[in-house]
Amino acid sequence: MQAFLYIELTTHITYRKPLPEQVKQQLPEVAVLDIDAESDELIQHYALRLLRESDQAVVCIKADATAPGLGKAMALLEELFEEKAGRLVLLLGEHSRLQRMFQARPHVQLRQVGEEEVLEEVKRFLGEF
C-alpha cells in the first residue's frame, strides 16, 4: 500500500487543503489522510496505522515558525523517526525545532520543498510518472 499523509502544524489551520486533494485526484490508488496538531485521538490512530501498514509513504508536514508546538503530532513524529525504508518526509515552511529533530536522524529522508514541488516529489517517490 502507498500512502500520503499531510500534517498541518501552523497557526492558521484551514479546513480545505489543496495538496491532499491534488494527490487524491492525480494518484487515486494512494491512501490519503490529512491531520493537524489538534486532531483527535481517533484520527491520530488512523494516521499511525496508515504509516505502519504502508509499504511506501510520503509525509508532508506544513509548518511555520510561529506554530506554538507540535501538539498531538508528536506520536506520529516518533513513528517517522523509526528506521523504516519506504518513507519520505517533505517539509513545507520553516520550523527550526522540527528541522533539528530530523537532522539528528540521518536515516530519515527529508526534503524541504515549496508547495509547487510537493506533487512532483510524491509522484517521483511513489514511482508514478
In this structure, what C-alpha cell is assigned to residue 98?
Answer: 522540527
What gap in Å lies between CA 82 and CA 58, rounded to an integer? 14
Q: Does pTM top 0.85 for this prediction?
A: yes
Indicate the number of domains in the chain: 1
Give me the domain span that covers residue 24.
Answer: 2-126
- What tens digit of pLDDT does each residue of 71-103 get? 677 788 888 888 888 999 999 987 778 888 888
Listed residue (106, 123, 99, 110) closest to 4, CA to CA? 123
pLDDT single digits (tens) 17-37: 889 999 999 999 999 999 987
At 47, the pLDDT band (50, 70, 90 cuts) reads very high
pLDDT at position 129? 37
Q: What's 103's domain CATH number? A: 3.40.50.10140
